[in-house]
Chains A and B, each alone.
Chain A
Amino acid sequence: KAGVTQTPRYLIKTRGQQVTLSCSPISGHRSVSWYQQTPGQGLQFLFEYFSETQRNKGNFPGRFSGRQFSNSRSEMNVSTLELGDSALYLCASSLAYPRSYRDRGGTEAFFGQGTRLTVV
């Protein structure tokens, strides 16, 4: 079974440009979450999509956006890039969105290798 695939692995962009990152979850998984990892801030939650709907959003500016397609693949977009957006962007795939308090805990996340974005 293939794992979570993120493309591209590396990107170099110039300030002010925009970028689109892609994530293909594990087959059958319908939830995709995105995280930003930086040395200073650690791992920060960006947003989560389930069944093409954004279910949850972290505390990031509106320049960060995402979407999910009917095949569960997800993209995230960052517009008007800033130097501080340089980071490793990780995608996490989960089987489902917990529908009740009772089954909240067992859903583990499988992470991709990430996309390393460098803004110059």
Chain B
Amino acid sequence: GNSVTQMEGPVTLSEEAFLTINCTYTATGYPSLFWYVQYPGEGLQLLLKATKADDKGSNKGFEATYRKETTSFHLEKGSVQVSDSAVYFCALKDTGNQFYFGTGTSLTVIP
């Protein structure tokens, strides 16, 4: 079946530090992969996506590369800001519109 495993949190970083949040997946087909972000009291917002192997999704300084050989989609950012503090969810979508989400990783960036 389909599932997503992502790095346990919480993660606390100093401003301008490098961020990596690990995400691996299991899928029966050839899924598309997503990172969503959730700010306090809000719903989920799409951060970036990749639809096939070796695709790189990027947005607002965040990047993730679809690695089929390692079934991974790790999220990275070179220099985090206080405003990046949020919960990050890795997700996959195969057929239809059903998303399979990871458990979420809480990120706190301190000045």
Contacts and interface: CB of A to CB of B under 8 A. Distances in A.
B45 A111 contact: yes
Nearest to A107: B97
Contacts, number: 72
Interface in B62-83: none
For the complex, would chain B's binding face be called helix, strand, loop or mixed by DSSP majority?
loop
Interface residues of B, number: 27
A contact residues, range: 20 to 34
B110 interface: no
B52 A105 contact: yes
Contact of A98 (B42, B43, B97, B99): B97
Contacts of B104: 42-43
Nearest to B29: A101
Contacts of B101: 35, 42-43
Contacts of A110: 46
Given A92-B99, A101-B95, A111-B44, 12 more contacts: A42-B101, A48-B96, A48-B98, A55-B96, A56-B98, A90-B43, A104-B94, A104-B96, A105-B32, A109-B99, A112-B43, A113-B42
Interface of A: 4, 6, 31, 33, 35, 42-43, 45, 48, 50, 55-56, 58, 90, 92, 94, 97-98, 101, 104-114
